Amino acid sequence: GENVEQHPSTLSVQEGDSAVIKCTYSDSASNYFPWYKQELGKGPQLIIDIRSNVGEKKDQRIAVTLNKTAKHFSLHITETQPEDSAVYFCAASKRRNAGNMLTFGGGTRLMVKP
Amino acid sequence: DTAVSQTPKYLVTQMGNDKSIKCEQNLGHDTMYWYKQDSKKFLKIMFSYNNKELIINETVPNRFSPKSPDKAHLNLHINSLELGDSAVYFCASSQEYQPLSSYNEQFFGPGTRLTVL
């Protein structure tokens, strides 16, 4: 089955700095890679996703890159703000019969210091 | 206008008891999921239902029995609760069958924190 590794497990940055979270996956058939943000006491919320037919995607201060050959993908947050503090999860998925089974990384706790 | 709702939010119970967690989505989605998040925040899928039919069962003990009375609801019943069942359980939903789209966002509920004593 799929295995997703995520690093680092915790990340502390100063407000305004950039944050980078990296993930690797094992199943070369995986072709959908979402990133979720989980705030304290809440469920995960999708912030950006990328499909295997593109190498990079950007949405305002958030960008994701994908290297299919190396089987790794990364989340980049620029100009971090205190409200970016949360746990971030990467995930990988491939289409199966009916349904989209996500395998999650172990999560990164991001702390943005004002 | 809650999208995915779960009840209860907190559940504290004794070992050996049977308990249920309810989930409802008002997004009109056709697929619903249950995930378990352990104390280290690791998030793992348990079940997936599409139009009331089980499509994914990730080696979950048969003490866990999901039930989908209609495509807007997916409830989780747990028999003979064990200490290791303590976790946060998340329900999620997505719309899987859309033309020209293979992957669709999963919307998560707020979670149910289960504590087994």
DSSP structural state of residue A98: S
**CA A50/CA A25 separation, integer angstroms:** 14
pLDDT tier, B102 (very low <50, low <70, confident <90, very high otherwise)? low
Contact at CB, A42 and B111, closer than 8 angstroms: yes
Greater model confidence, B51 or A26: A26
Q: Do residues A84 and A95 touch, judged by C-beta distance below 8 A?
A: no
State the pLDDT confidence band at A37, using cuts at 50, 70 and 90: very high
CB contact B97 to A (< 8 Å): yes
Provide the token pair at A102.
């996500």
Cβ <8 Å between B106 and A102: yes
Whether A98 sits inside 8 A of B43 (CB atoms) is no
pLDDT interval class at A95 (50, 70, 90): low
Instruction: Encode pLDDT of B11-49 as tens digits.
Output: 999 999 999 999 999 999 888 999 999 998 999 999 888
Q: Encode pLDDT of A42-76 as tens digits.
A: 999 999 999 888 899 999 999 999 999 999 999 99
Contact indicator for A89, A39 with CB cutoff of 8 Å = no
Would you list which residues of chain A are within 8 Å, Cβ to Cβ, of chain B?
32, 34, 36, 38, 41-46, 49, 51, 87, 89, 93, 95-104, 106-107, 109
pLDDT at A98 over 70: no
Q: Where are the beta strands (DSSP E) in B1-117?
A: 4-7, 10-13, 19-25, 31-37, 43-50, 53-57, 64-70, 73-78, 87-94, 107-108, 112-116
- Computed over every residue of chain B, the mean pLDDT equals 89
Mutation for A interface: B98, B103, B104, B112, most A CBs within 10 A:
B103
Burial A6-15 (b: 16+ CB within 10 A, else e): beeeebebee
- pLDDT reported for residue B54: 82
| Average pLDDT of the segment spanning A15-27 | 97
